[in-house]
Amino acid sequence: MNGGQCIKYFIPIGLVARKAVTESLACWKHGFAEQITDLSLVDDDAFNVVINGYDYDSEESLKTVIDAYLKVRCGASYFDVDGTDVSSWSDKHSKFKAIELNLNMDDVEYNTSLIRFSIEQFITKLKPKYKISGLILTLQGGSVSLDELEAYMTIPRNALDDGITFITNTCFFESAEEQIMTLYFAIKYDF
């Protein structure tokens, strides 16, 4: 299990990116993330994230990508997700959306129904203009068993087309009293 707590250096390109990174880091309470503008400070052993504000269709999309990066390797994780994985999800896309779900830590059946309903509603709103091309499922908060996590992962796998980029990320904290699932969608026009 990855112990997390990996420092991430955000390198914003453009004023919009700098503003979005600054605002996102101000709201992020788990640390291990800094904004730098001096590239000589980049540490080859750290997790370096270049955020080019011109690559996204809106500030919402930009903040969605920043949030997805913030939750990678910040807490204990079953998976070794890194910047390359997140880049494979975000590459060649400009539109990103996130759905945040507050799960019930004691009711797996309720959680699976909530996840299924939320994904179905999201897909319905996208069609016919857009198509989901990637998904990062991030579970943040108190830890869950691998069996429970597998039950949660099965829902988007069954609901989405084959061949999309699908990444599972966990971000567990010992003192967490809640369980939050965030579904980060990469979206493209459906021609």
CB-based burial label for 156 (10 Å; 0-12, 13-18, 19+)? buried
Residues near 45 by beta carbon (within 8 Å), at least 6 away in sequence: none
Gap between the Cα atoms of 117 and 113, Å rounded: 6
- pLDDT value, residue 174: 80
Q: DSSP letter at 7?
A: -
Work out the number of other CB atoms within 10 angstroms of the CB of residue 114.
18
- pLDDT value, residue 190: 79
Gap between the Cα atoms of 181 and 119, Å rounded: 12
Residues of the chain with pLDDT under 70: 1-5, 43-45, 191
Tell me the DSSP string of 160-179: S-TTSEEEEEEEE-TT---E
Full-model pTM: 0.92
- pLDDT value, residue 6: 79
- pLDDT value, residue 11: 92
